[in-house]
Amino acid sequence: MGDVRVSGTILVLMVSYCSGSIICDKVDVAEIEGDVISVCYNQVKSKEIKCPRNESVLVKHFLQRAHASKDGDDKGADYRSCAEKFNDEYYDVGECLLMTSDVHQKRAYQTAIMEVLEECSQKRYCILEGDTSSSIHGLKDLPVGERKKRPSHLAVLHQCVKDQVASVLCDSKTETGKEGYISSNRLKMSSRDTSTCTCTVSGAASRVTLLDVRLGNSNVTTLSIRDKTRTVYTIHGGDLAVHFMEEINISQSEWSLQVDVIRDYLPNKIWMRLEGHNGSDVTVTCKESETRDTHGAPRSSSGEECLNY
Protein backbone atom coordinates (compact mmCIF):
# COMPACT_ATOMS: atom_id res chain seq x y z
CA MET A 1 0.00 0.00 0.00
CA GLY A 2 1.40 3.42 -0.92
CA ASP A 3 1.38 6.68 0.97
CA VAL A 4 -2.04 8.00 1.94
CA ARG A 5 -3.03 11.54 1.01
CA VAL A 6 -5.13 13.23 3.67
CA SER A 7 -6.43 16.77 3.64
CA GLY A 8 -7.71 19.39 6.03
CA THR A 9 -6.12 21.59 8.66
CA ILE A 10 -3.25 20.59 10.89
CA LEU A 11 -3.93 21.07 14.58
CA VAL A 12 -1.15 22.65 16.62
CA LEU A 13 -0.75 20.91 19.99
CA MET A 14 1.25 22.37 22.86
CA VAL A 15 2.69 19.32 24.57
CA SER A 16 4.65 19.31 27.82
CA TYR A 17 5.77 16.77 30.37
CA CYS A 18 2.75 16.22 32.54
CA SER A 19 1.49 13.41 34.72
CA GLY A 20 -1.47 11.20 33.96
CA SER A 21 -2.42 7.83 32.55
CA ILE A 22 -1.54 6.79 29.02
CA ILE A 23 -4.88 7.35 27.33
CA CYS A 24 -4.88 9.31 24.11
CA ASP A 25 -7.79 9.89 21.77
CA LYS A 26 -8.27 8.91 18.17
CA VAL A 27 -7.42 11.37 15.41
CA ASP A 28 -9.49 11.80 12.25
CA VAL A 29 -6.92 11.68 9.46
CA ALA A 30 -9.45 13.24 7.10
CA GLU A 31 -8.92 16.50 8.99
CA ILE A 32 -5.14 16.52 8.62
CA GLU A 33 -3.23 17.88 5.64
CA GLY A 34 -0.22 15.99 4.36
CA ASP A 35 1.11 12.59 3.32
CA VAL A 36 1.17 9.69 5.76
CA ILE A 37 3.86 7.04 5.63
CA SER A 38 3.54 4.14 8.08
CA VAL A 39 6.45 2.16 9.51
CA CYS A 40 5.45 -1.26 10.87
CA TYR A 41 6.89 -2.30 14.22
CA ASN A 42 6.82 -5.99 13.34
CA GLN A 43 8.52 -6.08 9.99
CA VAL A 44 12.15 -5.61 8.99
CA LYS A 45 11.31 -3.33 6.10
CA SER A 46 12.28 0.27 5.50
CA LYS A 47 10.05 3.06 4.25
CA GLU A 48 11.30 6.04 2.30
CA ILE A 49 10.19 9.63 2.07
CA LYS A 50 11.30 11.38 -1.09
CA CYS A 51 10.61 14.90 -2.27
CA PRO A 52 10.97 16.35 -5.79
CA ARG A 53 14.05 18.31 -6.71
CA ASN A 54 14.32 21.65 -4.88
CA GLU A 55 11.91 20.54 -2.16
CA SER A 56 12.50 19.39 1.42
CA VAL A 57 10.70 17.19 3.94
CA LEU A 58 8.65 18.99 6.57
CA VAL A 59 7.57 16.60 9.34
CA LYS A 60 4.27 17.85 10.74
CA HIS A 61 2.74 15.18 12.94
CA PHE A 62 3.36 11.77 14.51
CA LEU A 63 0.56 9.21 14.87
CA GLN A 64 0.26 5.73 16.33
CA ARG A 65 -1.68 3.44 13.98
CA ALA A 66 -3.75 0.58 15.43
CA HIS A 67 -5.88 -2.07 13.78
CA ALA A 68 -9.61 -2.31 14.55
CA SER A 69 -12.03 -5.14 13.89
CA LYS A 70 -15.17 -4.56 11.87
CA ASP A 71 -17.51 -5.10 14.83
CA GLY A 72 -15.62 -2.66 17.01
CA ASP A 73 -14.70 -5.03 19.84
CA ASP A 74 -11.11 -5.36 18.60
CA LYS A 75 -11.20 -9.15 18.74
CA GLY A 76 -9.22 -10.57 15.88
CA ALA A 77 -7.44 -7.25 15.28
CA ASP A 78 -3.88 -8.58 15.30
CA TYR A 79 -1.45 -5.81 16.27
CA ARG A 80 1.38 -7.91 14.83
CA SER A 81 -0.03 -7.61 11.32
CA CYS A 82 1.70 -5.11 9.01
CA ALA A 83 -1.27 -4.97 6.63
CA GLU A 84 -2.61 -1.43 6.40
CA LYS A 85 -6.41 -1.43 6.50
CA PHE A 86 -9.03 1.19 5.71
CA ASN A 87 -10.48 1.10 9.23
CA ASP A 88 -7.19 1.48 11.07
CA GLU A 89 -7.33 3.98 13.91
CA TYR A 90 -4.82 6.80 14.46
CA TYR A 91 -3.72 8.23 17.80
CA ASP A 92 -1.75 11.41 18.32
CA VAL A 93 1.74 10.71 19.68
CA GLY A 94 1.92 14.19 21.20
CA GLU A 95 -1.17 13.53 23.27
CA CYS A 96 0.12 10.09 24.24
CA LEU A 97 3.29 11.76 25.52
CA LEU A 98 1.24 14.37 27.34
CA MET A 99 -0.94 11.82 29.08
CA THR A 100 1.61 9.27 30.21
CA SER A 101 3.31 9.64 33.59
CA ASP A 102 5.77 6.82 33.00
CA VAL A 103 9.36 8.01 32.49
CA HIS A 104 10.27 5.11 30.21
CA GLN A 105 7.22 5.68 28.01
CA LYS A 106 8.05 9.37 27.70
CA ARG A 107 11.61 8.56 26.70
CA ALA A 108 10.41 6.07 24.08
CA TYR A 109 8.17 8.67 22.45
CA GLN A 110 10.85 11.35 22.57
CA THR A 111 13.66 9.25 21.12
CA ALA A 112 11.45 7.98 18.27
CA ILE A 113 10.44 11.53 17.37
CA MET A 114 14.05 12.73 17.52
CA GLU A 115 15.18 9.86 15.30
CA VAL A 116 12.62 10.69 12.60
CA LEU A 117 13.46 14.41 12.68
CA GLU A 118 17.19 13.71 12.56
CA GLU A 119 16.74 11.44 9.54
CA CYS A 120 14.19 13.44 7.57
CA SER A 121 13.68 17.06 8.60
CA GLN A 122 14.70 19.58 5.91
CA LYS A 123 16.12 16.82 3.70
CA ARG A 124 15.02 15.76 0.24
CA TYR A 125 15.19 12.04 0.93
CA CYS A 126 15.23 9.79 4.00
CA ILE A 127 14.72 6.18 5.01
CA LEU A 128 12.90 5.10 8.17
CA GLU A 129 13.52 1.70 9.74
CA GLY A 130 11.21 -0.21 12.07
CA ASP A 131 13.61 -3.00 13.04
CA THR A 132 14.69 -3.75 16.60
CA SER A 133 17.72 -1.45 16.39
CA SER A 134 15.62 1.67 15.74
CA SER A 135 13.99 3.99 18.27
CA ILE A 136 10.77 3.67 16.27
CA HIS A 137 10.58 0.01 17.28
CA GLY A 138 10.52 1.10 20.92
CA LEU A 139 6.91 2.32 20.53
CA LYS A 140 5.42 -1.08 19.70
CA ASP A 141 4.46 -2.01 23.27
CA LEU A 142 2.93 1.34 24.27
CA PRO A 143 -0.89 1.05 24.36
CA VAL A 144 -3.23 3.72 23.00
CA GLY A 145 -6.85 4.70 23.57
CA GLU A 146 -9.25 3.85 26.35
CA ARG A 147 -9.14 0.17 25.37
CA LYS A 148 -5.34 0.25 25.60
CA LYS A 149 -4.83 -1.14 22.13
CA ARG A 150 -1.35 -2.05 20.98
CA PRO A 151 -0.37 -0.11 17.86
CA SER A 152 0.98 -1.73 14.71
CA HIS A 153 2.71 1.24 13.04
CA LEU A 154 4.18 4.68 13.58
CA ALA A 155 2.57 6.97 11.00
CA VAL A 156 4.62 10.03 10.05
CA LEU A 157 2.63 12.92 8.59
CA HIS A 158 4.78 15.07 6.33
CA GLN A 159 4.78 17.44 3.40
CA CYS A 160 7.30 18.38 0.75
CA VAL A 161 7.90 22.13 0.79
CA LYS A 162 9.81 24.14 -1.79
CA ASP A 163 13.34 25.07 -0.82
CA GLN A 164 13.31 28.77 -0.05
CA VAL A 165 16.15 31.25 0.13
CA ALA A 166 16.70 31.44 3.87
CA SER A 167 18.45 33.91 6.11
CA VAL A 168 21.13 32.02 8.01
CA LEU A 169 21.91 32.69 11.65
CA CYS A 170 25.46 33.97 12.26
CA ASP A 171 25.73 35.12 8.63
CA SER A 172 25.34 38.62 7.15
CA LYS A 173 22.36 38.60 4.79
CA THR A 174 19.12 40.48 4.06
CA GLU A 175 16.04 38.95 2.41
CA THR A 176 12.64 40.52 1.65
CA GLY A 177 9.39 38.78 0.68
CA LYS A 178 5.88 37.82 1.75
CA GLU A 179 7.35 34.67 3.27
CA GLY A 180 10.80 34.20 4.70
CA TYR A 181 12.82 31.49 6.39
CA ILE A 182 15.52 31.47 9.04
CA SER A 183 17.79 28.46 9.40
CA SER A 184 20.99 27.52 11.19
CA ASN A 185 24.39 26.43 9.93
CA ARG A 186 26.54 24.63 12.47
CA LEU A 187 29.74 25.55 10.64
CA LYS A 188 28.91 29.26 10.85
CA MET A 189 28.06 28.94 14.53
CA SER A 190 31.27 27.10 15.32
CA SER A 191 33.52 29.87 14.00
CA ARG A 192 33.74 31.48 17.46
CA ASP A 193 33.93 29.99 20.92
CA THR A 194 30.97 31.90 22.35
CA SER A 195 28.64 34.18 20.46
CA THR A 196 25.22 35.72 20.03
CA CYS A 197 23.60 35.55 16.58
CA THR A 198 20.80 37.98 15.77
CA CYS A 199 18.24 38.37 12.98
CA THR A 200 15.95 41.40 12.82
CA VAL A 201 12.54 41.19 11.14
CA SER A 202 10.73 44.36 10.04
CA GLY A 203 7.91 45.57 7.82
CA ALA A 204 4.73 44.05 9.25
CA ALA A 205 3.22 42.07 12.06
CA SER A 206 4.36 38.49 11.64
CA ARG A 207 3.40 34.90 12.18
CA VAL A 208 6.36 32.67 13.03
CA THR A 209 6.18 28.90 12.68
CA LEU A 210 8.88 26.87 14.39
CA LEU A 211 9.19 24.14 11.76
CA ASP A 212 11.95 22.31 13.61
CA VAL A 213 13.91 23.72 16.53
CA ARG A 214 16.28 21.42 18.45
CA LEU A 215 18.71 23.37 20.59
CA GLY A 216 20.65 20.40 21.94
CA ASN A 217 21.17 19.08 25.45
CA SER A 218 22.65 22.13 27.17
CA ASN A 219 20.46 24.81 28.75
CA VAL A 220 23.13 27.44 28.03
CA THR A 221 21.94 27.38 24.40
CA THR A 222 19.04 29.84 24.25
CA LEU A 223 16.70 31.13 21.54
CA SER A 224 14.60 34.21 22.25
CA ILE A 225 12.24 36.43 20.27
CA ARG A 226 11.96 40.02 21.42
CA ASP A 227 9.92 42.97 20.17
CA LYS A 228 10.55 46.62 21.11
CA THR A 229 9.10 46.29 24.59
CA ARG A 230 9.53 42.75 25.85
CA THR A 231 10.68 39.20 25.26
CA VAL A 232 7.85 37.42 23.47
CA TYR A 233 9.21 33.90 23.51
CA THR A 234 12.22 32.06 24.99
CA ILE A 235 13.34 28.45 24.86
CA HIS A 236 16.45 26.72 26.15
CA GLY A 237 18.27 23.58 25.15
CA GLY A 238 17.52 20.58 27.30
CA ASP A 239 17.27 16.83 27.37
CA LEU A 240 15.58 15.74 24.13
CA ALA A 241 13.60 19.00 23.88
CA VAL A 242 12.17 19.67 20.41
CA HIS A 243 9.77 22.33 19.17
CA PHE A 244 8.06 21.98 15.82
CA MET A 245 4.90 23.09 14.01
CA GLU A 246 4.42 25.65 16.79
CA GLU A 247 3.05 29.09 15.85
CA ILE A 248 3.91 32.42 17.45
CA ASN A 249 2.06 35.64 16.52
CA ILE A 250 3.92 38.92 16.88
CA SER A 251 1.86 42.11 16.72
CA GLN A 252 4.65 44.67 16.35
CA SER A 253 6.19 45.55 12.99
CA GLU A 254 9.76 45.02 14.13
CA TRP A 255 11.26 42.31 16.29
CA SER A 256 14.44 40.31 16.65
CA LEU A 257 15.49 36.71 17.01
CA GLN A 258 18.55 36.06 19.15
CA VAL A 259 20.41 32.78 19.65
CA ASP A 260 23.12 32.37 22.27
CA VAL A 261 25.54 29.60 21.36
CA ILE A 262 28.74 28.07 22.66
CA ARG A 263 30.89 26.11 20.26
CA ASP A 264 30.75 22.94 22.37
CA TYR A 265 26.93 23.16 22.63
CA LEU A 266 25.70 24.04 19.15
CA PRO A 267 22.00 23.73 18.25
CA ASN A 268 21.13 20.61 16.28
CA LYS A 269 18.59 22.43 14.10
CA ILE A 270 16.87 25.80 13.81
CA TRP A 271 14.36 26.10 10.99
CA MET A 272 11.44 28.53 11.03
CA ARG A 273 9.06 30.22 8.59
CA LEU A 274 8.02 33.88 8.76
CA GLU A 275 4.89 35.33 7.16
CA GLY A 276 3.81 38.97 7.01
CA HIS A 277 0.30 39.92 8.13
CA ASN A 278 -2.25 39.82 5.27
CA GLY A 279 0.43 39.09 2.71
CA SER A 280 2.64 42.04 3.61
CA ASP A 281 6.35 41.86 2.86
CA VAL A 282 8.78 41.22 5.68
CA THR A 283 12.49 41.97 5.63
CA VAL A 284 14.87 39.67 7.47
CA THR A 285 18.36 40.95 8.25
CA CYS A 286 20.82 38.62 9.94
CA LYS A 287 24.28 39.63 11.06
CA GLU A 288 27.48 37.87 11.97
CA SER A 289 27.96 36.59 15.46
CA GLU A 290 29.14 38.82 18.28
CA THR A 291 31.47 37.45 20.93
CA ARG A 292 29.94 37.27 24.40
CA ASP A 293 31.65 37.53 27.78
CA THR A 294 32.03 34.03 29.18
CA HIS A 295 33.26 34.97 32.66
CA GLY A 296 29.81 35.19 34.17
CA ALA A 297 27.72 32.21 35.14
CA PRO A 298 25.71 30.62 32.32
CA ARG A 299 22.07 31.56 32.04
CA SER A 300 19.77 29.14 33.83
CA SER A 301 17.07 27.17 32.12
CA SER A 302 13.47 28.31 32.41
CA GLY A 303 12.60 24.78 33.46
CA GLU A 304 11.05 23.94 30.12
CA GLU A 305 11.33 20.24 29.42
CA CYS A 306 8.78 19.90 26.72
CA LEU A 307 8.08 18.70 23.25
CA ASN A 308 5.83 21.13 21.43
CA TYR A 309 3.88 20.71 18.22
Stretch among 6-15, 55-64, 119-128, 139-148 having the lowest mean pLDDT: 6-15
Q: Give the chain's mean pLDDT.
A: 82
Confidence of residue 136 (pLDDT cuts 50, 70, 90): very high
User: How is the chain classified by DSSP, letter by letter?
Assistant: ---EEE-S-PPP---B-----S---EE-GGG--EEEEEEETTS---EEEE--TTEEEEEEEEEEEE---TTSS-TT--TT-----TT-EEEEHHHHHHH---HHHHHHHHHHHHHHHHHHTT-SEEEE--STTSSGGGGTT--BTTTTBPP-EEEEEEEEEE---EEETBS-EEEEESEEEEE--HHHHTTSSEEEEEEEEESS-EEEEEEEEE--S-TT-EEEEEESSSEEEEEE--TT-EE-SEEEEE-SSEEEEEEEEEGGG--SEEEEEEEEGGG--EEEEEEEEEE---SSPPPPP-S--BEE-
Q: pLDDT tens for residues 283-292?
A: 999 987 666 5
Q: Examine the pLDDT at 200 and tell me if it is beyond 60.
A: yes
What is the rounded distance in angstroms from the CA atom of residue 240 to the CA atom of residue 217? 7
Q: What is the average pLDDT across 221-229? A: 91
- The domain segmentation of the chain, as residue ranges, is 4-162, 166-308
What is the rounded distance in angstroms from the CA atom of residue 148 to the CA atom of residue 154? 16
Q: What percent of the chain clears pLDDT 70, i.e. is strictly above it?
A: 83
Q: What percent of the chain clears pLDDT 90, i.e. is strictly above it?
A: 42
Query: Which of 65-79, 94-108, 220-234, 290-304 reaches the highest mean pLDDT?
Result: 220-234
Q: Which of 177, 225, 179 is nearest to 200 (CA)?
A: 225
Answer whether 160's CB lies under 8 Å from 236's CB.
Answer: no
Answer whether 219's CB lies under 8 Å from 236's CB.
Answer: yes
- Tell me what pLDDT residue 269 has: 93
- pLDDT higher for 165 or 53? 53
- Tell me what pLDDT residue 261 has: 81
β-partners of residue 284 are 175, 201
- Tell me what pLDDT residue 291 has: 63
Q: Which of 48, 183, 22 is nearest to 127 (CA)?
A: 48
Stretch among 18-32, 127-141, 152-166, 222-236 having the lowest mean pLDDT: 18-32
What is the rounded distance in angstroms from the CA atom of residue 309 to the CA atom of residue 58? 13
- pLDDT higher for 211 or 23? 211
- Tell me what pLDDT residue 249 has: 92
Q: What is the average pLDDT across 112-128? A: 95
Confidence of residue 275 (pLDDT cuts 50, 70, 90): very high
Stretch among 21-30, 239-248, 286-295 having the lowest mean pLDDT: 286-295
Q: What is the average pLDDT across 67-83? A: 75
What is the rounded distance in angstroms from the CA atom of residue 257 to the CA atom of residue 241? 19
Q: Which CATH class is domain 166-308?
A: mainly beta
Q: Examine the pLDDT at 227 and tell me if it is beyond 80.
A: yes
What is the rounded distance in angstroms from the CA atom of residue 57 to the CA atom of residue 270? 14
- ∠ CA 243-245-247, nearest 5°, is 95
- Angstrom distances, CA of residue 74 to CA of 27, 46, 139: 17, 27, 20
